[in-house]
Amino acid sequence: MECMKGILLDKFESKSAVIGIFGLGYVGLPLAIRFVEAGFRVIGFDIDEEKIINIESGKSYFKHIDDSKIVSAISSGLSSTTDFSQLSQADALIICVPTPLNKSREPDLSFVTSTMDLMLPYVRAGQIVSLESTTYPGTTEEELLPRIESTGLVVGKDIFLVYSPEREDPGNQKFETKTIPKICGGHTENCKDLGQALYSGAIDRVVVVSSTKVAELTKLLENIHRAVNIGLVNEMKIVADKMGIDIHEVIDAAATKPFGFTAYYPGPGLGGHCIPIDPFYLTWKAREYGLNTRFIELAGEVNTAMPEWVISKLSDALNERSLPVKGSRILVLGIAYKKNIDDMRESPSVELMQLLANKGAIVDYSDPFVPVFPRMRKYQFDLQSVELSETVVQSYDCIVLATNHDSFDYSMIRENAALIVDTRGYYKQADNVVKA
């Protein structure tokens, strides 16, 4: 037991270990680059051949990752492939694949389990498997452990298993993969020790917890904390609106208190892969224990209802101008889920577009980070980003500020728009601005 562990520890310490990363998306690609920067050889795996072609050509498919980083990583030891048989070369196998919800808003672990099943014929003794995908407590032990041990390998002796949740925040200028502390929990003590050794070679600080379940619940708590507080402030927004009060002015005033208050800001709904989805992972698992997580579910209901509330504000504003939603020309500003990135996952802006289209509006969008509307499972729009100018802004009945990218010319938009529905609190009160 100690022999296999010792060999792997030596490899991580000497940086002779080969790191295999499965899923080269918003989590996997930055992680692969970071391990290469730290001195490891990395093999990136993905079933999407287009991603592999881009990487091998030195091209990034994310706005916040420069091509130069890909080129540098390739010259320093990054390769990528769709051939899973190469994973036998890797000493660490890190899984970074999506964990969405199905149509019933229940956890969909198919990406995780199918990836593990594709890996099984090639796993060997002397490897460590790490799951980074956000999921409910128990997933690592219930889904990965039996699959790995079905090969005859004993976890904790022949092969090692950890859970280390991703904490990526695309576009965040203050933190990057290297500087974001890494949570890591192992199935056994040996697993835990090796997980710490693996990530310590590339991440500044590794926070070791007692089990994979603790690590899994830690990630959910982080995102549920945000979801609940955003739900609270979204509800406060509706109350403030009814009272004729600007909720953003209230939040900014409250934020001057130097203790006991953290500012969260309302918006048109929740976006990103984590915050709109993760709470439902816990509520689903809690039912197995006979528990109803009412507080979390209520926050989810409030946040999910936000796009409909924005549309009602927009409808009222058009009605006051003797315009129906049907047939009105409406331009949505920003369709990424947050500003200054191109990440479209669970973007409430796109839900706004769909709701408007369902009501018969003529919908366009402008987003410098998303020049062409991408293929999405839930939404289909055959659109390209509209380039803004005074004449273009004047041609729309309503401009919806959905994602507040820094690159928009907000003064020009305000001066030329007939009506602005502001879901981000950017504009001060004006005759042509409606806060939503």
Residues annotated as catalytic (active site), given as ranges: 274
From 365, 169, 367, 404, select the one nearest 267 (Cα to Cα).
404
H/E element, 45 = strand 41-45
Instruction: Report d(CA 261, CA 251) in Å as an integer.
Output: 10
Q: Which two tokens stand for residue 405?
A: 């990218």
Question: Pairing between strand 433-435 and 362-366?
Answer: unpaired
From 258, 255, 264, select the one nearest 225 (Cα to Cα).
264
Helix (H, G, I), strand (E, B) or coil at 5: helix
Q: Which two tokens stand for residue 291?
A: 């528990």
Instruction: Report d(CA 341, CA 339) in Å as an integer.
Output: 6
Q: How many Cβ atoms sit within 10 Å of the Cβ of residue 358?
A: 11
Q: Tell me the torsion sign for CA atoms 56, 34, 158, 142.
A: negative
The CA-based angle 341-346-347, given to 5 degrees, is 55
Helix (H, G, I), strand (E, B) or coil at 94: strand
Q: What is the DSSP letter of 327?
A: T
Length of the chain measured in residues: 436
Q: Which two tokens stand for residue 412?
A: 């020009």
Per DSSP, the residues of 158-178 read TBEEEE------TT-SS--TT
Helix (H, G, I), strand (E, B) or coil at 73: helix
Helix-helix angle 348-358:294-320, to 10 degrees: 50
Report residue 417 CA to chain centroid gap.
Answer: 32
Q: How many Cβ atoms sit within 10 Å of the Cβ of residue 153?
A: 17
